[in-house]
Structure 1
């Protein structure tokens, strides 16, 4: 694993990067379009999952 894949993003960080609201980010997580893990009560999104989501969105738009 590289350092990039080890990094975990918080929901607010993903919200800021995607310029989306909290509900939309949780909808993406619920629909499994954005992979996340739970650490205790906290939800974390691996950076690699975030990047894959962006790549998938670009591919779908093309």
Structure 2
């Protein structure tokens, strides 16, 4: 059985992609806007989940 590798981003990398502040990224994480995992003391953002979040934001912003 082959599983698809999961790409993880640091919170800083996710923040840079979204071009938002540190407090804003942690607010989104707290709201469950995208999936994160805790590895020891480090938190990582699941890249595919962040991409899906961005896609939802783009689709939600389109005029009907």
Partner of 1:47: 47
CA RMSD of aligned residues (A): 1.1
Which structure 1 residue ranges, 4+ long, deviate > 4 Å from structure 2?
none
Q: Distance in 2 between matches of 1:60 and 1:27?
A: 20
Relative to the length of structure 2, the TM-score reads 0.85
SS of equivalent residue, structure 2 residue 38? strand
* Aligned partner of residue 17 in structure 1, secondary structure: helix
Q: Unaligned stretches of 5+ in structure 2?
A: none
Name the counterpart of 1:26. 26
Contact 2:15-2:22 at 8 Å conserved across structures: yes
Pick the structure with greater CA Rg.
Answer: 2
Name the CA distance, whole Å, in 2 between partners of 1:50 and 1:2.
17
Q: What's the secondary structure of 1:44's corresponding residue?
A: strand
Decide whether the 8 Å contact of 2:29 with 2:36 is kept in 1.
Answer: yes
